[in-house]
Amino acid sequence: MRKFNFSMPTKIVFGQDVVKDAGESLALGKKALIVTGKTSARLSGALDDVLSVLPGEYVIFDEVENNPTGENCAQGARLAREEGCDYIIAIGGGSPLDAAKVMAVLAVNDKQPLELYGGWEHKALPIAAIPTTAGTGSEVTPYAVLTLHEEETKKGLGGPDLFPAVAYLDAKYTASLPLQTTIDTAVDALSHLVEGYLSNRATPASDWVALQGIALWGTALPALRQGELSLEAREDLLLASMLGGITIAQTGTTMVHALGYPLTYFHDYPHGRANGVLMASYLEYTRDKAPERVDMVLELLDQPSLQAFRDLMDELFADYVGKLHVPEEAIKAYAAKAAKTKNIAYTLGTPSAEELTKILKDNIL
Ligand SMILES: [Fe+2]
* Domain co-membership, 265 together with 337: yes
Can you tell me the distance from the alpha carbon of 250 to that of 242, in angstroms, rounded to the nearest whole number? 13
Is 202 domain-assigned? yes
CATH number of the domain residue 339 falls in: 1.20.1090.10
Calculate how far, in angstroms, residue 85's C-alpha sits from the geometric centre of ligand 1.
29
Q: Which of 108, 138, 173 is the last residue of a domain?
A: 173
Region 295-318: mean pLDDT is 96
Per-residue pLDDT tens digits for 40-54 = 888 899 999 999 999
Calculate how far, in angstroms, residue 62's C-alpha sits from the geometric centre of ligand 1.
22
Q: CA 67 → CA 93, 148, 244, 276, 324, distances in Å?
A: 10, 10, 20, 18, 19
pTM of the model: 0.96
Is the Cβ–Cβ distance between 75 and 100 less than 8 Å?
no
Region 96-121: mean pLDDT is 97
Q: DSSP code of 155?
A: E
Is 158 domain-assigned? yes
* Domain co-membership, 219 together with 306: yes
Calculate how far, in angstroms, residue 230's C-alpha sits from the geometric centre of ligand 1.
24
Calculate how far, in angstroms, residue 271's C-alpha sits from the geometric centre of ligand 1.
7
Per-residue pLDDT tens digits for 174-196 = 999 999 999 999 999 999 999 99
* Domain co-membership, 153 together with 132: yes
* Domain co-membership, 330 together with 192: yes
Q: What is the pLDDT confidence band of residue 315, given thresholds at 50, 70 and 90?
A: very high
* Domain co-membership, 160 together with 228: no
Q: What is the model's pLDDT at position 40? A: 80
Is 94 domain-assigned? yes
**pLDDT of residue 321 exceeding 80:** no
* Domains identified in the chain, total number: 2
Q: What is the model's pLDDT at position 2? A: 83
Is 1 domain-assigned? no
Is 2 domain-assigned? no
Calculate how far, in angstroms, residue 13's C-alpha sits from the geometric centre of ligand 1.
22
**pLDDT of residue 280 exceeding 90:** yes
**pLDDT of residue 224 exceeding 80:** yes
- Where b means 16+ CB within 10 Å and e means fewer, 263-300 reads bbbeeebbbbbbbbbbbbbbbbbbeeebeebbebbbeb
Region 75-101: mean pLDDT is 98
- CA nearest 247: which of 187, 207, 295? 207
* Domain co-membership, 162 together with 188: no
CATH number of the domain residue 119 falls in: 3.40.50.1970
What is the identity of the amino acid at 214? I
Q: Which of 173, 188, 223 is the last residue of a domain?
A: 173
Calculate how far, in angstroms, residue 153's C-alpha sits from the geometric centre of ligand 1.
14
Q: What is the model's pLDDT at position 86? A: 98
* Domain co-membership, 155 together with 228: no
Calculate how far, in angstroms, residue 154's C-alpha sits from the geometric centre of ligand 1.
11
Q: CA 294 → CA 30, 111, 207, 350, distances in Å?
A: 49, 43, 13, 16
* Domain co-membership, 295 together with 157: no
**pLDDT of residue 323 exceeding 80:** no
Is 50 domain-assigned? yes
Is 5 domain-assigned? no
Q: Which of 113, 146, 173 is the last residue of a domain?
A: 173
* Domain co-membership, 159 together with 215: no
What whole-number percentage of the chain has pLDDT above 70?
A: 99
* Domain co-membership, 165 together with 187: no
Q: What is the pLDDT confidence band of residue 87, given thresholds at 50, 70 and 90?
A: very high
Calculate how far, in angstroms, residue 251's C-alpha sits from the geometric centre of ligand 1.
13
Nearest 5°: CA angle at 129, between 123 and 134? Answer: 135
Full residue range of the structural domain in which residue 108 is found: 11-173
Is 71 domain-assigned? yes
